[in-house]
Amino acid sequence: MQQNEITAILNHPTSQELLARDLLRMAYVAKDGTPRNIPIAFVWNGSQIVVCTTKNAPKLPSLRHNPQVALTIDTEVHPPKILLIRGRVDELDVVDGIPAEYLQMNGSYEMTPEQRVEWEAEVRSLYDGMVRVVITPTWVKLIDFDTTLPSAVEELVRQRAERQHA
Name the band, by pLDDT with cuts 50, 70 and 90, for residue 24. very high
Whether residue 109 has pLDDT greater than 70: no
Domain residues for the domain of 17 are 3-165
> Strand 23-29 vs strand 49-54: parallel, antiparallel, or unpaired?
unpaired
Asked if residue 116 has pLDDT above 60, the reply is yes
More confident residue, 159 or 147: 159
Binned at pLDDT 50, 70 and 90, residue 107 comes out as low
Amino acid at 105: M
Closest CA to 87 of 63, 73, 70: 70
Neighbours of 47 (CB within 10 A): 12
> Which CATH number goes with the domain that contains 46?
2.30.110.10
Give pTM, 2 decimals: 0.88
pLDDT, position 111: 78
The structural domain count of the chain equals 1
